[in-house]
Amino acid sequence: MSLHRGYAGTESDEVAGFREQVRGMLSAFDEKDFESWEQDRHIPKEVIASLGEAGLFRRRWERGAERGVPRLVAMCQEICDVSSGLALVAMGQSEVFIGALQWLGKGERQKALLEDALDGRTVGCFGATEPRGGSSLAGMRTTAVAVEGGWRLTGCKRYISNVGRADQILVLAKMENPAHVGDLSLFLLPLDHPGVTIDGFFDTMGLHGCDVGQVTFDAELPADALLGNHGVGLLYATHLLQFERLAICAQLIASAATALRLAVAYARRRSIGNDRIMDKQAIRHRLAACQAELWNLEARLAQLVDIAQRDGRMPSHGIAALKLTAGESACRIIDTAMQVFGARGYSKNFPLERFWRDARLSRLGGGTDEVLADMVASGIDRQDPPFEDLISRLSMSDLPRMDDR
């Protein structure tokens, strides 16, 4: 049963109803299922199909990208409460694969692929990072060369979430003889296509339910493998990342809230001598500080969701800032909850150690802390005439006081 109850008390009855639908769908699975996914290191494809069959992806998208964000948050939080790995897979399917097809899909084949993705019959993943250069575009070696009747796509992508159970991968590639390092394009590549090889998977610290692998390819594709216009892939990927980052924030907040509620419940019932540990000032104040931090995160998430829904736009700098702070805060809240539990918190008999492992990826995936900090800095590194004038006046008056004694 889910323990999350929305964000900052702003949820409409309609979104709350959608949240209940997600909970009802997830009730078909139990702890044995979640444990088997963690052990297998894969989310079964049938699980994504069941989300699609339940209409969750269609309901998330029926109001459009930005205006459907409240449902995105509800879906991510509810799924994260039962399995962080499934939440990551569902987010990639909904916000990146379906999102790209909703926005850019043209022609009969791409539109049919969208319908299959919405219903969970086709599962997608996204490949951008490469063995050399990491996520740096300057180091990208994957190329797309125009050939008769289509494209030849050659390269290698790694750290791809859910590649082991996906049918399609969205590939970011540079065009032949690009005029600029950012001249990238987005391609649809079937994973069972001739010339495509899944090289294997990486063992990771957390999110064991979702596999992370590497793909190598040298494949000829039809003309409609190109998604959108060529040379604009970076813009497309950057836009899709905003939805992914907001989803990550929602998941982090849900995990931190669950961890904190567990810690408070434990502190209220655990006693040392005749005193509850909740009555120990050191514990009480640490938990209070965590709750204050969590309320701030929830309020900011609600504000960004409202902007997206009301204005029909994704506030990219605000989302980057929230992810930057939410990653650090959620890890700190979960760590505090683990500390309250003592040795039990470190044991796999309690979920705190899994929350702690799973949350750490948030500061690396979807844009590292350093990338996001630089993005936020670029948003404030702008001319501000009133304050520049004030600095000038203050500087002019920055003189030593004359001593009249």
Name every residue whose Cβ is closer than 8 Å to that of residue 72 and which is 6 or more positions away in sequence: 60, 94, 95, 243, 246, 247, 250
User: What angle, 0 to 180 degrees and rounded to 10, lies between the N-to-C axes of helices 69-82 and 233-269?
Assistant: 50
pLDDT at 139: 73
Assess whether 112 and 136 both reside in one domain.
Answer: no
Assess whether 219 and 313 both reside in one domain.
Answer: no
Structure tokens, 282: 């050191």
Q: How far apart are CA 142 and CA 218, in angstroms?
A: 10
pLDDT at 181: 63
The CATH number of the domain where 81 resides is what?
1.10.540.10
Judge contact between 37 and 44, C-beta under 8 A: yes
* 146: in domain: yes
pLDDT at 402: 80
Assess whether 19 and 97 both reside in one domain.
Answer: yes
- On whether the pTM is more than 0.85, the answer is yes
Q: Is 388 exposed, middle or buried (0-12, 13-18, 19+ CB in 10 A)?
A: exposed
Range of the domain at 66: 13-118
pLDDT at 138: 62
Assess whether 168 and 292 both reside in one domain.
Answer: no
Name every residue whose Cβ is closer than 8 Å to that of residue 87 and which is 6 or more positions away in sequence: 76, 79, 80, 251
Assess whether 17 and 93 both reside in one domain.
Answer: yes
Assess whether 221 and 245 both reside in one domain.
Answer: no
* 274: in domain: yes
φ/ψ (deg, to 5) at 179: -75, -25
* 7: in domain: no
Which amino acid is located at 86 in the chain?
A: L
Tell me the mean pLDDT per 10 residues along the chain, length 405: 48 92 95 95 96 97 96 96 95 97 96 98 96 70 94 96 97 83 89 98 94 98 96 93 96 96 96 91 97 97 95 95 96 97 93 94 92 92 94 91 74
Q: How far apart are CA 296 and CA 8, in angstroms?
A: 9
DSSP label at 206?
S
Domain tally, the chain: 3
Q: How far apart are CA 281 and CA 287, in angstroms?
A: 10
pLDDT at 135: 57
* CA 77 and chain centroid, separation: 11
pLDDT at 99: 98
